[in-house]
Structures are given as structure tokens and as C-alpha cells.
Structure 1
Amino acid sequence: MLKTKVAVQVISTGILPDDVLMLGEKHLKQWKIPQDQSIVLKFGSFRQQIKVVPVKRSDGIRISQTLAKRLGIHAGAALRLHYRPSALTLSIGPLIGVLISRDVPDSSDKPFGSITLFCKELVDACQNQGAYVYFFTPNQIGSTVSSIQAWVYAAGWHRMTMPIADVINNRLTSRKLENKPSVQHFLREVKSRYQTQVFNEKFLDKSEVFDALRNDASLHRYLPESHLLRNYAMLKAMCSRHATIFLKPVRGSLGKGIIRISRAEPGAYQAMYTTPLGTKKQHFSSLLKLFSSISGKMKTARYQIQQGLQLIDIQKRPVDFRALVQKNATGSWGVTSIVARTAGSQHFVSNLARGGTLSKVKEAVSKSNLPLSAKQNAYPKLQKAAIDIATGIDTNIPAHFGELGIDLALDTNGRVWLLEVNSKPSKNDNTPLNNEQKIRPSVRLMIQYSRFLTGF
């Protein structure tokens, strides 16, 4: 399929009719676009009958102000074109929608708070690649799904009525927002009515991930023993098999609510809790007493019980790894970045929100207590595990993902283990450490994958 990137020029409505699009003559000839009949102009969910007029010595497209407003396109935008003769349809795009949690309409310079810079980075990357992006929140979803009130960037942030996008990247950071009936209805309708592709369409629960990956025998080597904690008998059985176990909220994030349980003197146990100020320790004379003390928490949250691992450490501070895996321009999984995360001195989890620090994998591995013979292969082993696990998620969980944050660990024998998978990876935890580039590889890849999904 022929395709190209062109600049959009907006002409006064009195000069150019709303149903006429002017296009460089060479593109017209190259694609054999008819000049003497109406064809369909498509932009996301927008459709309109137009006639195409050739322009000599021009590489761009020209449209009227009225048509530009209906499309939500500003002058100077760069878009890709492709023409389908069988459907007499000229498509421009891709049009990408990013669903975010909240906006601050009164703050014109930072309408999306801390992620405003990330949003502007997406705008710049789209301009480079010939795509068009807008941002919207659950509050902007109305009763109709024919268009959406959204934010676009054109020499500043503006609210505009936009067509439904070809691709929607769900970047909601709250399960409560994602589960709103209006959000779920909107996503179902746009997929069905406009064949909109929605990726990262749902949060993942820890139990869901481990249960799904257990279906694939080739992934068993990465999976610590892990179950949904149901009762005291399960806790007792796990503690009899493993010197240390972890209890993790099934829907937790940022290291919140994790409990580390280990044997102390015979019959006694120690529980360590994550708190914002550091680790809180409690001793129990029996496992039953420990279970009684945590059973209240189990009434308000489900917990995953997981085998404790002998992780590599740097001066007694555990180290784990966050891999960002993304689908690329061919729709295949690739590793965009892997960073090492070392726990803070008062914590046993490595999350940045709990005092953890980032470093390059090579640097962390070289300083760690991993045997010398295993240090050289550490990065390729982490890389392979991340791709294997992402592929396993795709195969065994019926949802569409385009990027995943995969938390991995190395034990002191050099074996790779899966800790958890995050379907809404934060733009802080997985940022590559060489931050000189204006547009990060992770942002470029998101647009390349959107182009793959839409044929642009």
C-alpha cells in the first residue's frame, strides 16, 4: 500500500469549498486518485464525500478552514495518507487518542499536571512521524460516541471537538476510573462501531497474571510459587516450604501493603511491613497469631502469597529490575529499556516511591553479590525473560496490550524470576537513564505501533 507523510495547509473557506481537497499532483498520479468523481475522506471516525483537485509543484494537502475545524486539524500538522481504490477512500492519520485520568482546565501551561511534559513529547513525536494525537479524560466522555471533547496542541493546549480516534491508548491510572460504566460503554462502542483499536485496555491483577502464565510450561522456570491467599492452611503450607514468603495486595502498586514473613527462632515468625517511613517489624510467637493479626487486612483486600527469593543485593539492599517491553512497527514485542532498582536502606522493596534508586543493569550487577560467572549473561537473560513473559501475557490473557512493565529479579544463582507485571507502566520507573533525547524511544515506539495497527 502506497503511503506518505504530507503537511496540511488550511485555506480560507471562501477560497476553497468545504468538499474539495487539494493534493500535490505527483501523489494524485502515483495513487491513481480519480479527479472527476467523489471519494470518501476518512480521519478517525470522520467520513465526508470530497473531490480531489491536483496542485502542481506541491507536496502537501490543502483544505478549507471549515473542513479543518470539523476534522480538528490545525495548519502545519503533518499527516500520513493512503488511498484505497477498492473503497474509493482517502485516509489521513493515524488519529491517536490517549485516555488519561484527569485534567486541570484552568492551568493552560500544565493541563495534565505531572504528565503534561510526557503529553507534549507525544505531540512532538507524532509531528515527526506524521500522526495526530489528542488527550481526553473519563469526564469528557459524553452520551454520544460520534465525537469527543479533547485536548490538542497547536502553539498551546486547546479543547476541541474531535472524531473518535483510530487507536486509543488507555493510560488511566485508576481502576475506579477504568471501571466506570461510561468508560466501559465508550470503549465497547468505539471498538464495535468504528473498529477503533484500544491497547492497554485493562489493569492486570497479580493473581490473574500468575494463573495465566502457569498455563504455559515454557514459562514455569520464571514463576515463583504463588497463590491467592485464601486461609491459614495455605499460609502454613507456604511457610513450611519456604524460609521467607511475601504477601502482596492483588491490586497493589508502588510497593504499598507488602508484608514479608520469615521464620525467626523455632515456632516464631517475623513480619515486616512497608510504610512510607521505612520498614515496620513485628514478632509473633506463632504463625497462627501472625495470621490473626493480618486477617483484618484480608477482609478489605485480596492478597497474593508468593515464595520469597534469595535476591542479589548491594550491601544488603535487594536489587530487582524493571523491563519496559513494547510492540513495535511490525507488531512484535521488543525490550525498550531495563533498569535496575535498588531498595532504600530502610526498605525491603525497591520501588522509587519507597526510597529505591535507579541505575543501569550493568552497574548494579557489577556491584552486586551475583557470582562473577553469572554477571556477563545477566542482561541477555533478563531481556529474554521479559519477551517470553510478554508473549505469554498476550497468549493467555484475552486483552490487547501494547506495552508492559515487567518486574524481574535475579537470585544469587543467576536465575531470572518474575515478580509482577504492570499494564500501566509509569513514565518514571522505566525512564532510560540517558535522558538527553528530547523524544524517548518508548514514545516513538508507541506511535510506530499505532501506525502498524492502522496500516499507516
Structure 2
Amino acid sequence: MLEKHHFVYLKPTGGSLGIGIYRLTYHPKRGYFARYRSGNSNVLLRFSKFQNLIRMLQSRHGGRLGSYVAQQGIRLIEIDNCPIDFRFHMHKNGRNEWVPAGIGAKKAGRGSVTTHIKNGGSLLTPEQALNRAFGNRAAEVLEKAKRVAVRLSEAIERNYPHRLGELGLDIGIDKDGEVWMFEANAKPGRSIFKHPALKSQGRASLELILEHCLYLSRFQGGSNDEA
């Protein structure tokens, strides 16, 4: 994957909060680079050979390395040379439809592997981030991302054996305006709603939970075909 993409993320399958994630890059003339978080610091290591990179990973994780997943790296939009990604907080509404209740943009801290706030990241509104990246195309790109997020939620629900009414999608948008999903969380946190401009979206999120519960309980007027 490094030879093909030159840029991958190595992530623990059961991880959270960005803990244990590595950003690996390959430069044909310069070697292999690993960036990761250690304690409160960001670490960057260089290796001349792939075997040396793997030896370092094995020394840090041993057999647990087998539970890691490698994910293609995406050249995301940036602000001040810091990557930006998005959390789409998705809900089922009172008509059993997926809708984006809230969207937060997360800017990575300088030198950080992820955009997590605890690792030095900062929270923006999607409009703030996209206006910087796309100018007068910002609204168009955001509407496209919303449509993609709805389709992703529908696809996950179709292929998931249990009932879903809420999802947190970690979404990236590259410099061409293409939309990528990195991860889907069935029990998403609500940290994006701490941003002053997103508090109303936090209230809308709670209202949608109630709406969908009413739909499932058949407490609304009209006829529903499914419980």
C-alpha cells in the first residue's frame, strides 16, 4: 500500500480518540517516515528501509500489530498546512430518513497525526473550513458532502444486522472536492456541539432522537408500515 499510495494510516481496529494511530509515508529517494503521538508529544521518525519501519512497529506492539488495519491516506484540504476533516452527526428522523443533524470541521494540530482536540486539534464550522479551501464553491461542496453522508448512512444500515438511529461519520474532503469516509461510529460523541455556533445543531440532534423514537413507537399521527 505504501508503494501504491505513498501515504497510509495504520490504525488499531478497536481504537478510539486517535490513540495508537500511525501516519506512514514513503518517499522513493528519502525513505520511510512514521508519525505518531507519544504522551503529549508528536513524534516523527525516518527509516532507510521498510524492514526497519516494521521492526519499530513490532517492538512497540508485538502480536497486537495483527489487529491493526492499514488505510489509504487522502490528501485532505488544509488550513495553514494543517489537514481538515469533518464529523457528520447523522440521525434518523420522524419519517425514518437519514439526515445530518450537525457537522463539525476539525483542524489538526501542528504535526499531529489526527484532528482530535486532545491532540492539539481545533473545531470550526464547516462553512469556515470550506470557505477557506474552496471560496465561492464552498456551499456546493458542502451540499455534495451531505448527500454522500446520507447515502453512506443508508448503505451502512442496509448491511448492519441491528437497528441504527444515529451515526457519527468521519468524513474527509480532498482538494478536488471528492468525499471520503474514514470511519463510522455507532455511538458517536457529542464534542462538536460544544462549539458556540453548533449548539443549535446539538439541540436539533436531541429533537431528532425523540422524533425517531416516536416514529418507532407509532405514537405519531398517520400510519406507519414498519415498527
TM range (shorter): 0.7 to 0.9
Distance 1:426 1:350 in 2: 15
Alignment RMSD: 2.1
Distance 2:75 2:18 in 1: 18
Residue range with higher mean Cα deviation, 422-431 or 281-290? 422-431
Sequence identity (%): 29
2:8–2:25 CA contact under 8 A, matched in 1: yes
1:360–1:433 CA contact under 8 A, matched in 2: no
Corresponding position of 2:166: 403
Corresponding position of 1:299: 63
1:430 to 1:385, Cα distance in 2 relative to 1, 3 A: farther
1:430 to 1:420, Cα distance in 2 relative to 1, 3 A: farther
Distance 2:72 2:212 in 1: 36
**Cα offset, 1:388, TM superposition:** 0.8
> After superposition, what is the alpha-carbon deviation per residue over 1:242-298, rounded to whole angstroms, capped at 9, x for unaligned?
111110111111111110111245372010012342320111110111112112425
Corresponding position of 2:114: 349
**One-letter identity of the residue aligned with 2:147:** K
Corresponding position of 1:383: 146
Unaligned runs of 5+ in 1: 1-237
Distance 1:344 1:427 in 2: 20
Corresponding position of 1:425: 188
Unaligned runs of 5+ in 2: 220-227
1 or 2 for the larger relative contact order (CA 8 Å, sep ≥6)?
2
> Which of 309, 312, 322 is matched with 2:74 structurally?
309
> Which of 364, 385, 404 is matched with 2:129 structurally?
364
**One-letter identity of the residue aligned with 2:192:** D
State the TM-score, normalizing by the size of structure 2: 0.88
**Cα offset, 1:437, TM superposition:** 5.2
Distance 1:436 1:321 in 2: 16
**Cα offset, 1:346, TM superposition:** 3.5
Distance 2:148 2:39 in 1: 31
Answer yes or no: is 1:415 the counterpart of 2:139: no
Which of the two has greater helix per residue?
Answer: 2
**One-letter identity of the residue aligned with 1:300:** R
**One-letter identity of the residue aligned with 2:149:** A
Instruction: Count matched residues.
Output: 217
Question: What does residue range 217-366 of structure 1 map to in structure 2 within 5 Å?
Answer: 238-264=1-27, 266=29, 268-296=31-59, 297=61, 299-300=63-64, 302-366=67-131
2:88–2:169 CA contact under 8 A, matched in 1: yes
SS of 2:43's equivalent in the other structure is: strand
Distance 1:403 1:275 in 2: 32
1:276 to 1:443, Cα distance in 2 relative to 1, 3 A: farther
Which protein has the larger Cα radius of gyration, Structure 1 or Structure 2? 1
